[in-house]
Amino acid sequence: MYTISKYSFKEFKISPGHRANYAILCNPEFATNQWGLKYHPTNDYAREYKILSLFSHPQIPVKYGEGSDVLYKDGKFVLSQSYIVMTHFEGEDVVEYYKKLGLPDQAQMKLIIQYFTSATLPLTHIHAKKHIHSDIKPGHLILNPTTGAMGLIDLECAIKEGEIIRGMSKEYASPEQKEMIKLLRSGEDDKAVLRKVQMRPSSDLYSVGLIFYQVLTGKLWQTANVIPQEINKAIPDKLNRVVLGLLEENPNNRIQSAEALKAELEAI
C-alpha cells in the first residue's frame, strides 16, 4: 500500500511522455474509482488546482486537494512528492484504444464520430471561459467506451487567450505553438512574440485533428502527410473533409470553434 498525506493507493502507473505518475485512490471514505492522484517529486500543482476551479463540466476533472508530502510504501519512506487530487475518469487514451482494436472499419465510424463529438463539449466550456488547453494529446483525451464520453484532463498548461504558452507536446502541437516557441527561443520578449503569434481556440482544434487523424489511420499526420481516405477507405467523405479542416496550417482557414466542429460532425 502507498500513501501520500492522507491519500492511499494500491498501485500507480507511469505513462511515457507524461510529467507525472498517476494512481486511483482507495481510501475507505471514497467511493470506488472516485478520485485520482497525480504526483511528481518536482512538479508544483498549485496552478493546475487553481485553474480547475474556473471550470465546471462533467468531462473536466473536479479538484479535491493539492500539496506536498512524503510518499510511503508499506510505511517506509520513499520520496517527497507534490500532488493533486481530482476526479478519476474511467477509460483510456483514445489512440491506444484504437491501436488495440486495429484500423477502424465502416462500422466503427459512427462510434468515432460520437466520441469526438463528445470531446467538443469540454472544449466549448473551456473556450467560453477564454482559456485554451494548449496541451491536447492522446493521453489527455480519456475515452470511456461504455458511456461514449471523452474526459479532458491535465490542464496544467492551460492559458488565457493572449498569454504565452507554458509548454506543449511537440507531436501534437499546432503550428502557432511551434512558432511561438521558436520566437521565444530566438530571444524575443513576450510582448514582441504576442504581436506576431497568438493562441486561439483553433490551436486546440488542430491538436484534436492530429489525434482524430491518428485514430482513423493509425498513423501520424506529420509522417504520413496524406489525406485520411488514402489510408483508410472506410472514412466517409464528409468526415475526411472535417479532419482536413482541422489540420489546416493557417489558423484562419481551420475550423474555428469546438461548436463548429460539433455541428460538422453531427451533420455527417
Do 212 and 134 belong together in one domain? yes
Question: Is residue 263 very low, low, confident or very high in pLDDT (cuts 50, 70, 90)?
Answer: very high
Q: What is the mean pLDDT of residues 154-168?
A: 93
Q: How many domains does the chain have?
A: 2
| Grid cell listed for 56 | 465546471
Q: Who's near 226: CB < 8 A, 6+ residues apart?
A: none
Average pLDDT over all residues of the chain: 94
Nearest to 114 by CA among 75, 145, 153, 155: 145
Q: What is the mean pLDDT of residues 57-72?
A: 96
Do 120 and 63 belong together in one domain? no
Q: Is residue 16's pLDDT more than 60? A: no
Do 104 and 233 belong together in one domain? yes
- Inter-CA distances, 49 with 62, 83, 134, 139, 153, Å: 9, 10, 17, 19, 12
- Strands 149-152 and 141-144, by their bridges, are antiparallel
The CATH code of the domain that includes 25 is: 3.30.200
Q: Which of these three, 50, 68, 87, is where a domain ends? A: 87
Give me the helix-helix angle, 258-266 and 106-128, nearest 10°.
150
Rounded to the nearest 5°, which phi and psi values hold at 58? -65, -15
| Grid cell listed for 112 | 468515432
Contact call for residues 251 and 203 (beta carbons, < 8 A): yes
Do 190 and 61 belong together in one domain? no
Do 48 and 174 belong together in one domain? no
Provide the pLDDT for residue 167.
Answer: 84
**Which tens digit of pLDDT belongs to each residue from 185-239?**
999 999 999 999 999 999 999 999 999 999 999 999 999 989 999 999 999 999 9
How far apart are alpha carbons 174 and 207 in whole angstroms?
6
Residue 143 is part of which domain span? 92-266
Neighbouring-strand partners of residue 143: 92, 150
Provide the pLDDT for residue 13.
Answer: 76
Do 121 and 76 belong together in one domain? no
Contact call for residues 85 and 20 (beta carbons, < 8 A): no
Q: Which of these three, 62, 87, 112, is where a domain ends? A: 87
How far apart are alpha carbons 150 and 145 in whole angstroms?
9
The CATH code of the domain that includes 134 is: 1.10.510.10
CA atoms within 13 A on the CB side of 66: 20
Q: Helix/strand/coil (H, E, C) string of 228-249?
A: HHHHCCCCCHHHHHHHHHHCCC
Contact call for residues 86 and 62 (beta carbons, < 8 A): yes
Distance, first Cα to last Cα, the chain: 49
Do 78 and 101 belong together in one domain? no
Do 124 and 216 belong together in one domain? yes
Do 246 and 129 belong together in one domain? yes
Q: Is residue 78's pLDDT more than 80? A: yes
Gyration radius of the chain over CA positions: 19
Do 53 and 99 belong together in one domain? no
Q: Which of these three, 68, 87, 106, is where a domain ends? A: 87
How far apart are alpha carbons 123 and 136 in whole angstroms?
10
**Which tens digit of pLDDT belongs to each residue from 26-41?**
999 999 999 999 999 9
Do 168 and 250 belong together in one domain? yes
| Grid cell listed for 70 | 512524503
Do 78 and 117 belong together in one domain? no
Provide the pLDDT for residue 18.
Answer: 61
